[in-house]
């Protein structure tokens, strides 16, 4: 009997702590969303009514450590996030109309979370910690891609981007090009400066290469 009572108390304590942690998490997320609203002139109290009319959001230098609250802005076409502690791309499943995305000078380690952004035309992910170009197969309308100043060692994952016109891969750790850009027949601008490429023995049908 005494043992059962001790177990009951332990269970109650566990659930109390769990509820407390959940409340703290909700409060924390609410504060982040409030800062997002404040930075973009959207009254937090009216976010449910006015959020659907917002097409552009921006967040500069701290205050947005996680990509949350974007479900309030389903018509978002441009999102700019600069100088945050963001490590993962999240919350964009509710933003199918997104055409331009900036997540720069953050702490991204990979390209992900874009599977519902099928209208994306411009993607800026420079000055992060990305090591591999991947998960862009569905972004067939992408025209501009900046992933310079990352940790990329190989050009790949761009085969389906037939509309790509501008590619910035400067200041990575790339050593060769090979035929990795052959499918990108509309590429006009390519920046590979600051890499470790020893030979440019490749046919590049574009207007500008620097």
What are the tens digits of pLDDT across the range 63-102? 899 999 999 999 999 999 999 999 999 999 999 999 999 9
Q: Which residue has the higher pLDDT, 38 or 204?
A: 38
Instruction: Kindly list the distances between the CA atom of residue 200 and the CA atoms of 109, 144, 204, in Å, as whole numbers in the listed order.
Output: 28, 22, 9
Q: What confidence tens digit (pLDDT) does each residue in 144-202 have?
A: 999 999 999 999 999 999 999 999 999 999 999 888 999 999 999 999 999 998 766 55
Give alpha helix (H) positions in the chain. Answer: 2-39, 47-50
pLDDT bucket at 28, cuts 50 / 70 / 90: confident
Query: Cβ(139)–Cβ(123) under 8 Å?
Result: yes
3-state secondary structure of 16: helix
CA distance 158 to 29: 35
For residue 105, the 8-state DSSP code is S
Q: What is the mean pLDDT of the chain?
A: 87
Share of the chain above pLDDT 70, in %: 81
Residue 58, pLDDT above cutoff 80: yes
Q: How confident is the model at residue 2 (pLDDT cuts 50, 70, 90)?
A: low
Strand-pairing partners, residue 59, are 81
43: β partners: none
For the record, the structure tokens of 76 come out as 């978002």
- What is the DSSP code (8-state) at residue 126? -
Long-range contacts formed by 93-99: CB under 8 A, 24+ apart: 94/70, 95/70, 97/55
Asked if residues 54 and 75 have their Cβ atoms less than 8 Å apart, the reply is yes
Beta carbons of 200 and 179 less than 8 angstroms apart: no
Q: If you average pLDDT over residues 103-125, what whole number do you get? A: 97
């Amino acid at each position: 009997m005494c043992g059962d009572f001790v177990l009951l108390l332990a269970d109650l304590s566990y659930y109390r702590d769990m509820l407390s942690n959940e409340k703290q998490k909700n409060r924390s997320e609410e504060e982040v969303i409030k800062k997002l609203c404040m930075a973009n002139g959207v009254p937090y109290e009216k976010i449910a009514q006015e959020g659907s009319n917002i097409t552009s959001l921006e967040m500069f230098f701290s205050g947005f450590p996680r990509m949350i609250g974007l479900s309030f802005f389903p018509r978002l076409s441009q999102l700019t996030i600069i100088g945050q502690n963001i490590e993962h791309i999240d919350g964009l499943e509710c933003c199918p109309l997104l055409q331009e995305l900036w997540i720069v000078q953050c702490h991204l380690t990979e390209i992900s979370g874009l599977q519902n952004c099928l209208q994306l035309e411009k993607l800026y992910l420079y000055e992060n910690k990305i090591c591999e170009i991947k998960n862009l197969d569905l972004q067939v309308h992408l025209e501009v891609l900046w992933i310079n100043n990352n940790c990329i060692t190989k050009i790949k994952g761009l085969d389906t981007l037939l509309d790509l016109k501008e590619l910035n891969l400067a200041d990575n750790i790339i050593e060769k090009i090979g035929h990795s850009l052959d499918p990108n027949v509309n590429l006009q601008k390519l920046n590979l400066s600051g890499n470790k490429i020893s030979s440019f023995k490749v046919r590049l049908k574009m207007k500008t290469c620097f």
